[in-house]
Amino acid sequence: QAVVTQEPSLTVSPGGTVTLTCGSSTGAVTSGQYPYWFQQKPGQAPRTLIYDTSNKHSWTPARFSGSLLGGKAALTLSGAQPEDEAEYYCLLSYSGAWVFGGGTKLTVL
Amino acid sequence: QVQLQESGPGLVKPSETLSLTCTVSGGSINSYYWTWIRQPPGKGLEWIGYMYYSGSTSYNPSLNSRVTISVDTSMNQFSLKLNSVTAADTAVYYCARVGRKGSRPSNIDFWGQGTQVTVSS
């Protein structure tokens, strides 16, 4: 089974910009793996921020954006807010089988 | 607003079968995929499987031999059965709705709040 890798932790200053990445053990991440990004705060269910690489939900703050960058899926947060401190997970599809990354703990400090 | 609610036993004995139901309100179960995802205590998310309302399924290969997901359109519910459980199956179990794009699942939008299941004798 493929392994999906994320940075274990990242720190961003309030108002700053940070990029989280999502890599695949099978090679470059492509749009055909339909990358997702989820946000999870302690004690809460995950919330979907991004699907199919860059599509947002109505509840996704405009400061979040998804893309492919350097062979990985990427989630960029521009103008970090204290409420963005959370765990972020990516998800990739491998011919219909889904695999989550291990998560990135984002600290806004 | 679509809402999903997981239900089922919070405690399951080792070697027995874990059974959970997700009840969908505020929308129809038809024309969507439905998925189960779990999270062991202090760990990350793990995809269990998904099912299209009309019957096609995809399961995590690491759980494939033990998992069954089914849909009851008349009750607007879908279910998870995981057999031969061990302590490693202790987790919060989430159900979620997934849209469809072409012939594939796309767009996990609504999630249940999750239900804790502990495997212990």
Which residues in chain B have their CB less than 8 angstroms from residue A97's CB?
A: 47, 58, 60-61
As a residue count, chain B comes to 121
> Along the 121 residues of chain B, how does pLDDT read in single tens digits?
999 999 999 999 999 999 999 999 999 999 999 999 999 999 999 999 999 988 899 999 999 899 999 999 999 999 999 999 999 999 999 999 999 999 899 999 999 999 999 999 9
Asked if B58 lies within 8 A of A38 by C-beta distance, the reply is no
pLDDT tens readout for residues A30-41: 999 999 999 999
Which two structure tokens, joined as six digits, stand for B84? 């031969």
Q: Does B33 touch chain A (CB under 8 A)?
A: no
Asked if A45 lies within 8 A of B94 by C-beta distance, the reply is yes
Are β-strands A72-78 and A64-69 bridged in parallel, bridged antiparallel, or unpaired? antiparallel
Contacts of A36 (CB under 8 A, 6+ apart): A48, A50, A51, A52, A90, A91, A92, B108
Which residues in chain B have their CB less than 8 angstroms from residue A102's CB?
A: 44
Sheet containing strand A64-69, strands side by side: A4-6, A17-24, A72-78, A64-69
> Along the 109 residues of chain A, how does pLDDT read in single tens digits?
899 999 999 999 999 999 999 999 999 999 999 999 999 999 999 999 999 999 999 999 999 999 999 999 999 999 999 999 999 999 999 999 999 999 999 999 9
In chain A, residues 24-43 whose CB comes closer than 8 Å to chain B: 34, 36, 38, 40
Asked if B60 lies within 8 A of A97 by C-beta distance, the reply is yes
- Give me the residue from A45, A91, A100 closest to B114, CB to CB: A45
